[in-house]
Structure 1
Amino acid sequence: MWTRVAILLGLSLAVVKGQATKTSIPLTCVPQQKPGTCLLKSIKVQEKDVIDTTARVSSDKVLLFENSQLEYLPDVLFGKFPMVETLQATAIGLKKLSSNTISKWPYLKHVDLSDNMVGTVPDNVFGLCQNLESIRMANNRLHLLNGITLMGCNKLKQLNVSSNQLIHMDWEPASGLRELEQVDVSNNLLPALTISRYLKKIIARNNHIHKLTTDAGSFIFMVEYLDVSRNRLNNIDTLARFAKLIHIDLSYNRLLSVDFALFKHMHSLRELNLANNNIFEVATSDHKPITLSLVDLSNNELTRLFANDSKGISSTEKLLLENNFLVSFEVTKGLANFPRMRSISLGGNDWVCNDIEATLAELNAKKLTVVATSQKCAPHQILKSGLCCRDLGSTFDELVLLKSEKLAEIQRNSPTKGGSFTSTVKPTFASAPAATQKSNVKVSSPVNAPVSQTNNAEVGKLTNSFSDAEKRTAATDAQLVALRNENTALKSSLKRTQGEIRTLNEKLTRCKSTVNQRTGQTVLID
Structure 2
Amino acid sequence: MFLKHLFSYICVYCVYSFKTIKSTQIECDPISNTDFGRRFCFIRHINDGIIQNVTFKPNPIADEKRELIFDNCTLHFLPLGIFTNFPNIKTLYGWNIKLKNLTKEVFRNSKELFVLDFSKNNIGVLDTNTFHLAKSLNQLDLSRNQIQIIHTDAFTGLEQLKMLNLDNNKLQLIPANCFKPLIQLQTIRLSHNLIKMIPTELFEQNIYLHGIYLNDNAIEWLYGELTFRHLTRVNEFDLHNNPNANLGCCVINAQSIDIRNTNSIGCYIGSRTRRVVANNNHISYIDSYDAISTNLEYVDLANNQLQKILNLTRFESLIHLDLMNNTMDDIGLNSFANMHRLEILNLQNSGLSKIYFGLFSHKSKLKILDISYNNLGNIDFQMFVSMTSLLKLHLDGNNLTKIDATELRKIFPALSKMSISQNNWSCQHLASIIKYLESNGIALDSIDSTKNTENIKGIPCKSNDESQIIENPVSLKESDAEVSKQKSVLTNIPGGIAYDQKLRLLQLKYVIQNTIESANEAGKKIENILHIN
- Is the structural similarity TM-score above 0.5? yes
TM-score, normalising length: structure 1: 0.62
C-alpha separation in 2, matches of 1:91 and 1:300: 42
In structure 2, the residue corresponding to 1:148 is in which secondary structure? helix
Does 1:304 pair with 2:381?
no
Partner of 1:461: none
Alpha-carbon spacing, 1:196–1:54, altered in 2? closer, same or farther (3 Å): closer
Alpha-carbon spacing, 1:75–1:335, altered in 2? closer, same or farther (3 Å): closer
Partner of 2:172: 95
AA matched with 1:111: I
Q: Which has the higher strand share?
A: 1
Does 1:223 pair with 2:296?
yes
Q: Is the contact between residue 375 and residue 399 of structure 2 (CA under 8 Å) also seen in structure 1? A: yes
C-alpha separation in 1, matches of 2:356 and 2:484: 53
- Report deviation, 1:364: 4.2
Alpha-carbon spacing, 1:314–1:432, altered in 2? closer, same or farther (3 Å): same
Alpha-carbon spacing, 1:368–1:399, altered in 2? closer, same or farther (3 Å): farther
For residues 166-223 of structure 1, the C-alpha deviation after alignment (integer angstroms, 9 at most, x for no partner) is 3334556x5xx4xx310111111111222233210001111111222332x5223311
Alignment of 1:64-463 (within 5 A): 64-65=141-142, 66-79=144-157, 81-140=158-217, 141-164=219-242, 165-169=244-248, 174=252, 177=253, 180-215=254-289, 217-255=290-328, 258-259=331-332, 261-275=334-348, 281-286=354-359, 288-291=361-364, 292-308=366-382, 316-333=390-407, 337-372=411-446, 375-376=449-450, 378-379=452-453, 382-393=454-465, 429=481
For residues 257-296 of structure 1, the C-alpha deviation after alignment (integer angstroms, 9 at most, x for no partner) is 8557522322221112233556554444546141321112
Alignment of 1:28-47 (within 5 A): 31-32=92-93, 36-40=114-118, 41-45=121-125
Alpha-carbon spacing, 1:248–1:191, altered in 2? closer, same or farther (3 Å): same
Q: Is the contact between residue 295 and residue 313 of structure 1 (CA under 8 Å) also seen in structure 2? A: no
Alpha-carbon spacing, 1:331–1:238, altered in 2? closer, same or farther (3 Å): farther
For residues 354-380 of structure 1, the C-alpha deviation after alignment (integer angstroms, 9 at most, x for no partner) is 32233334434543223347851555x
C-alpha separation in 1, matches of 2:294 and 2:288: 9
- Report deviation, 1:56: 2.9
C-alpha separation in 1, matches of 2:163 and 2:94: 15
AA matched with 2:239: V
C-alpha separation in 2, matches of 1:290 and 1:243: 12
Tell me, which stretches of 5 or more residues in structure 2 are unaligned? 1-75, 83-90, 96-112, 490-505, 519-533
C-alpha separation in 1, matches of 2:362 and 2:296: 21
Alpha-carbon spacing, 1:394–1:263, altered in 2? closer, same or farther (3 Å): farther
Percent identity over the alignment is 20
For residues 208-241 of structure 1, the C-alpha deviation after alignment (integer angstroms, 9 at most, x for no partner) is 11222332x5223311011111222233232211
Alpha-carbon spacing, 1:311–1:471, altered in 2? closer, same or farther (3 Å): farther
Alpha-carbon spacing, 1:373–1:190, altered in 2? closer, same or farther (3 Å): closer
C-alpha separation in 1, matches of 2:457 and 2:169: 58
C-alpha separation in 1, matches of 2:457 and 2:221: 53
Alpha-carbon spacing, 1:394–1:356, altered in 2? closer, same or farther (3 Å): farther
Alpha-carbon spacing, 1:198–1:432, altered in 2? closer, same or farther (3 Å): closer
Q: Is the contact between residue 352 and residue 391 of structure 1 (CA under 8 Å) also seen in structure 2? A: yes
C-alpha separation in 2, matches of 1:146 and 1:237: 25
Alpha-carbon spacing, 1:210–1:391, altered in 2? closer, same or farther (3 Å): same
C-alpha separation in 2, matches of 1:399 and 1:278: 38
Aligned residue pairs total 388
Alpha-carbon spacing, 1:474–1:153, altered in 2? closer, same or farther (3 Å): same
